[in-house]
Amino acid sequence: MSLDVSSMSDAELAKAERAIARKYVGGVPWMMVVWGLGNFVVWLTLWPLVLTGVIPLWAGFLVACLNMSLAYLPSHEAQHSNIAKEGHRLRWLNELVGHVSTLPLVYPYRILRMTHMLHHAHTNDPDKDPDYNNNAPTWIGAVRRTIASFQPNYVDPYGTAMQKRAGDPAAEWALVEAVLYKLAFVAALITLAWSGYALEAFFVWWLPSKIGMIYLRLCLSWAPHVPFAEQGRYRDTRAWRFYGGMGTWNVLTMGMQYHIVHHLHPAIPLFRNGPAYWEMRDILTARGIRNDGL
């Protein structure tokens, strides 16, 4: 039954929105657990298959690119404790998925969680949102910005955000962990190259990780927030329709067309954002969300 939102006060709209959101919160999102751990296992399995010639390098490269593109979102669920909250008997599983799923991207979970919470608290703030550096007027510009972030002289906004928390033991340990990740990554690449597997290291890890980061920043950061101009709970991200379609297109953007729901109610797991959006769409429209065709 649809609501007549035209006669509802802002307080009534807020109450109705929260009531709908609560219906989609709770339970262990096992799909995200299987996604995160399964994707990591598939990527690990690529190595013996490629190194022994069971599958050709080009096929391993394509699968690795897919692995990298799928690596972040399970960790994202863990960052919000959507798999298991503090004190839950499965909290260890939440943290396991958070850490393991982003290992192929060489991005430590602690840094991701801390900076992502800053993103939610200060979305589109040029000085406080670590994701603001993905700002660009066009998707080509966003891709260029990501490629620029791979250069040696790039000032990483995520590292800068952590440095601003000097004196915080958790932030300092996260920075140490990030350095250890990078050193281990470089050591692994050098070892593989020295052992005669330079091409395999390049095509199964280094290049796919860069392609994956381009895709992730484009679809998960740039597209939901462009033009990065507004702040405020209902205006700092948007609902949007990718090239006029849903279905396959929503899969290709990994559900980011419903990103507005995530920012409003981050406890709702990714795969429930769509149903939640359609149920509360009229309410969100009345509350002034940015809706670009959805």
- 133-191 pLDDT tens trace: 999 999 999 999 999 999 888 888 888 888 888 778 888 888 899 999 999 999 999 99
Residue-wise pLDDT for 238-276, tens only, equals 998 876 555 556 778 888 999 999 999 999 999 999 999
DSSP readout, the chain?
A: ----GGG--HHHHHHHHHHHHHHT--S--HHHHHHHHHHHHHHHHHHHHHHTTSS-HHHHHHHHHHHHHHSHHHHHHHHTT-S--TT-TTHHHHHHHHHHHTGGGT--HHHHHHHHHHHHHTTT-TTT-GGGGG--SSHHHHHHHHHHTTSTT---HHHHHHHTTTT-HHHHHHHHHHHHHHHHHHHHHHHHHHTT-HHHHIIIIIHHHHHHHHHHIIIIIIHHHTT----STTTSSEEE-BTTB-THHHHHTTTGGGHHHHHH-TTS-GGGHHHHHHHHHHHHHHTT-EEE--
Name which residue leads in pLDDT, 294 or 90.
90
Domain ranges across the chain: 1-25+237-294, 28-235
